[in-house]
Structure 1
Amino acid sequence: MYKMVLIMLMMAVWMAMHALQTDEEIAMTALYQGKHAVNRAAHAAAQQVDRVALADGRLHIDEAAAYRNAGRYLQTNLQLNGDGEPLPESMLRDRVEVLVFEVINDDHVFPYTYRNSYYGYTVTLKRPGVVLIVRMIYPRIFNIIEPIEWTIKGTAELVAR
């Protein structure tokens, strides 16, 4: 009898460990999805050329258009509404927050090294670009462990061809 109880207890422990491992794998998938979304949003933002400056021979990013496009890409790729809240079909449950959106334009000398000591991010840009830092919280499927919070960083430069 005691062997049967021990087997049942070990099965419960094994199932709990398996569920925890599955939750970790889904969390990593969410992190990769978030990183790809941030990279795509930064790239879309960096390609918003100011046509007036381009007519003057300058590579300059239109900041308002860049911000709009970055938001649109984040909404589409992470399944968010206009306020950054997840849609019902999204794997996220908490608001995705844009912590830093910075356009580095031709008013800087390139190569330009961007530093953000608060978030521990440094990147060198060779031409105008966009820096995007987003906070994303992954809700755990099983409530054994607290939700995971990530600060996802991305940068893209204006492509001049």
Structure 2
Amino acid sequence: MRCPFCQSDDTQVIETREVEDGTALRRRRRCGHCDKRFTTYERAEVSFPVVVKKDGRRTDYDRDKLRASFLLALRKRPVSADAVDTAIGHVEQQLLQSGARELPAAQIGNWVMEELRALDSIAYVRFASVYHSFKDLGQFLDVLQEVQPASPAAKPRRGKPSA
């Protein structure tokens, strides 16, 4: 593996650990020439189903696009990179276990929502608002009530604010 900083071939693995529930390996490497450290990931190459968009277009599955969706929803939220990688791994596992050659984008979106709901309720609401294309405040409130604790003190207040 070449060093991304100096392009030297003299790199060595200094630490290896499993990530994403054992579906990938994370390797910390050190360059013998410039002494800088960097991380690489190793995962099995598999064939994912083709994604069928709402308008009927078909595209190849793109892990980077899935990651970007997670990161956008989780922007400025206290969720670790490892937790995001694990959630992405869960979605990919469901993609593979489906056994389908083609899969509607809506199904992948539903799996992403399940993972976001488990990670962070704010990110879940953010993603849901875009994913479901909310047209009015009522739809937004429905999702908020869905993730809100059931205690009476936590119910949203309606009407005029008190002075």
For the superposition of Structure 1 and Structure 2, which TM-score range results when normalised by the shorter chain? Answer: under 0.3
TM-score for both structures, normalised by structure 2: 0.26
Higher normalized contact order (CA 8 Å, seq sep 6+, divided by chain length) = 1
